[in-house]
């Protein structure tokens, strides 16, 4: 082998390919954590892969079809797409107000792509976009999840100056080979703040999907989903659904949790105490309905739990 450089190179390439295939991080759900071994240290952490059935994600069928087509269907048909000369790398942006299910949708997609290596970036780890993309390139098929992407990809026109993380993200997305099986899954509460070169540029973000507040049918489905095995009197459900117009899925989940808490307190014979440990002296509401009084009316929001 030493006398044949070509054979040596081929052998080395085979060893590297085998090492990549059997990499301990392949097909895992990963995130970058900080300050595990002291300030400034970084650690790649493992997470269990979520298992969410389709009926646990309450979205209208048209929206669900668009999301599945952009992420799941490309993975399913990758051989045919490559044979037809089409690229696999893709970007999906999920946007909408807090609490409408963006993170829940991410969990659903991560659970669907069981053979995919997932690298998640949130919070203080957002500056590690280059490291995340390096892992994704090496361990394809892969997904890079960037939550609250507006924190690093704000419109340059709003704040002139240096934007190193924005340029790093754009360069990483552009630097992937056409046949790279990597999906960028981005979320934001404020799509209006995003850099147009990211959000409005096919090849970076190929599909943007708005997740909206649940309509009456969706609120009914969410009620059934979140109550689980909880026995509840549903005779007044239509009134509850009407009164929750304009709230988020997260609000409904908390509403049902509090209803269960109040019911347990009543049947247990104890006196209900407020969430801060004080007797609840406020006017009584419908059983289990979260208090929505706000001493600052100018800040009042329909999805605010206080």
The answer as to whether 6 is a domain residue is no
The answer as to whether 306 is a domain residue is no
Residue 75 maps to which CATH number?
3.40.50.300
Contact 25, 138 (CB under 8 A): no
Residue 285 maps to which CATH number?
1.10.8
Distance CA 149, CA 186 (A): 6
Tokens of 131: 């490291």
Domain co-membership, 33 together with 179:
yes
Least confident of 163-177, 183-197, 271-285: 271-285
With bands split at pLDDT 50, 70 and 90, how would you rate the model's confidence at 57?
very high
Which uninterrupted H or E stretch holds 121? strand 117-121
Specify the pLDDT at position 219: 95
User: Which residues, in sequence order, are bridge partners of residue 146?
Assistant: 121, 186
Specify the pLDDT at position 34: 57
How many angstroms separate the most distant Cα atoms in the chain?
89
Rounded to the nearest integer, the mean pLDDT of the chain is 83
Q: Which of 210, 239, 261 is the last residue of a domain?
A: 210
Domain co-membership, 259 together with 148:
no
> Between these two residues, 185 and 292, which has the higher pLDDT value?
185
The answer as to whether 39 is a domain residue is yes
The answer as to whether 161 is a domain residue is yes
Domain co-membership, 261 together with 127:
no
Domain co-membership, 95 together with 198:
yes
Question: What spatial distance separates the first Cα and last Cα of the chain, rounded to whole Å?
Answer: 72
Within 10 angstroms of residue 158's Cβ, the number of other Cβ atoms is 8
Domain co-membership, 241 together with 280:
yes
Specify the pLDDT at position 284: 41
Q: Which of 185, 210, 235 is the last residue of a domain?
A: 210
Locus of tokens 């991080």: 25
Domain that holds residue 271: 216-299
The answer as to whether 101 is a domain residue is yes
Domain co-membership, 119 together with 87:
yes
Among 16-30, 34-48, 137-151, the range with the most confident prediction by mean pLDDT is 137-151
With bands split at pLDDT 50, 70 and 90, how would you rate the model's confidence at 94?
very high
Domain co-membership, 138 together with 203:
yes
The answer as to whether 86 is a domain residue is yes
With bands split at pLDDT 50, 70 and 90, how would you rate the model's confidence at 42?
low
Specify the pLDDT at position 39: 52
pLDDT per residue as tens digits for the range 119-157 = 999 888 898 999 999 999 999 999 999 999 999 999 887
Does residue 281 register a pLDDT over 50?
no
Within 10 angstroms of residue 36's Cβ, the number of other Cβ atoms is 9
Domain co-membership, 201 together with 67:
yes
Q: Which residue in 300, 289, 296, 282 sits closest to 242, CA to CA?
A: 289
Long-range contacts of 84-90, Cβ-Cβ distance < 8 Å, separation of 24 or more: 87/178, 87/179, 87/180, 88/178, 88/179, 88/180, 88/181, 88/182, 89/173, 89/176, 89/177, 89/178, 89/180, 89/181, 89/182, 89/183, 90/183, 90/184, 90/206, 90/207
What total of structural domains would you count in the chain?
Answer: 2
Domain co-membership, 258 together with 140:
no
The DSSP string of 237-306 is HHHHHHHTTT--HHHHHHHHHHHHHHHHHHHTTPPPB-TTSSB--SPP-STTPPP---S-GGG--TT---
The answer as to whether 55 is a domain residue is yes
Does residue 159 register a pLDDT over 80?
no
Domain co-membership, 99 together with 32:
yes
Q: Which of 181, 210, 239 is the last residue of a domain?
A: 210
Give percent above pLDDT 90 in the chain.
61
The answer as to whether 243 is a domain residue is yes
Domain co-membership, 235 together with 278:
yes
Domain co-membership, 145 together with 32:
yes
Residue partners of 152: CB distance under 8 A and separation at least 6: 126, 127, 129, 146, 165, 166, 169
């Amino acid at each position: 082998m030493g006398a044949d450089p070509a054979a040596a190179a081929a052998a080395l390439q085979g060893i590297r390919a085998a090492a990549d295939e059997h990499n301990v991080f392949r097909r895992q759900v990963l995130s970058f954590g900080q300050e595990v071994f002291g300030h400034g240290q970084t650690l790649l952490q493992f997470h269990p892969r979520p298992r969410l059935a389709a009926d646990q994600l309450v979205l209208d069928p048209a929206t669900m079809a668009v999301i599945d087509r952009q992420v799941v269907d490309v993975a399913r048909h990758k051989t045919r797409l490559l044979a037809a000369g089409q690229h696999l790398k893709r970007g999906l942006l999920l946007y909408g107000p807090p609490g409408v299910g963006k993170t829940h949708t991410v969990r659903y997609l991560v659970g669907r792509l069981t053979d995919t290596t997932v690298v998640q970036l949130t919070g203080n780890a957002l500056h590690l976009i280059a490291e995340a993309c390096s892992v994704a390139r090496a361990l394809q098929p892969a997904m890079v999840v960037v939550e609250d992407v507006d924190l690093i990809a704000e419109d340059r026109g709003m704040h002139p100056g240096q934007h190193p993380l924005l340029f790093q993200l754009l360069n990483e997305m552009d630097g992937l080979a056409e046949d790279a099986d990597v999906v960028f899954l981005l979320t934001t509460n404020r799509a209006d703040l995003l850099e147009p070169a990211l959000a409005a540029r096919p090849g970076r973000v190929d599909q943007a999907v708005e997740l909206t507040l649940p309509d009456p049918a969706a609120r009914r489905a969410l009620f059934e989903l979140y109550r689980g095995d909880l026995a509840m009197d549903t005779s007044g459900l239509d009134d509850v659904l009407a009164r929750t117009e304009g709230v988020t899925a997260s609000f409904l989940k908390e509403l049902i949790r509090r209803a269960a808490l109040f019911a347990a307190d009543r049947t247990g014979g104890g006196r209900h105490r407020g969430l801060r440990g004080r007797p609840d002296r406020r006017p009584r509401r419908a059983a289990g309905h979260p208090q929505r009084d706000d001493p600052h009316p100018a800040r009042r929001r329909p999805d605010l739990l206080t």
